[in-house]
Amino acid sequence: MPKTALIKRKKKIALIAHDNKKQDMMEWAKYNIGTLEKHQLYATGTTGRMLEKELGLDIAILESGPLGGDLQIGACIAKGEIDFLIFFWDPLAQLPHDPDVKALLRVAAVWNIPIACNRASADFIISSPLMEQEYQRILPDYDNYRERFNQ
């Protein structure tokens, strides 16, 4: 029987947008405010402050991405404190914190959480019937991996 983690009806959602995608994030969040306000929101620095000001929503704001915010979100994912990630990243921009971005996307994949990397995928996630109900997320079994390195 696989291990699972319960994603409750009130989701814990991380919101991140690179500079060239912040306007997209703002428009998307405004359009989906009725859904977002039902959930617990986290965001990296600039994105979080922008969304909090414009939408009037309570958002747990972490550091800016280049100052470690992406890694903070990743740590929250690894601890089971984030249910899914909405990350509007700019595939055409060179970023000084690119290793952090890759680490964040990697840890989200490692822990099998839903990830939206653009507006279309975010639309599909937020409009899913699963947004309104509990969901048993299957956790990958890393026991063998851990045992190899704990001998």
To the query of whether residue 70 is one of the catalytic residues in this protein, the response is yes
Q: Could you tell me the CA-to-CA distances from 72 to 12, 57, 65, 79, 129 in Å, in that order?
A: 14, 21, 9, 11, 29
Task: Work out the end-to-end distance of the chain between its first and last CA atoms, rounded to an integer number of angstroms.
Answer: 25
Within a 10 A sphere around the Cβ of 10, how many other Cβ atoms? 11
* Candidates 19, 24, 58, 70; catalytic one: 70
Please give the Cα distance from 91 to 88 (Å, whole number).
Answer: 9
Q: Which two tokens stand for residue 49?
A: 């402050």
Any idea which residues carry the catalytic annotation? 70
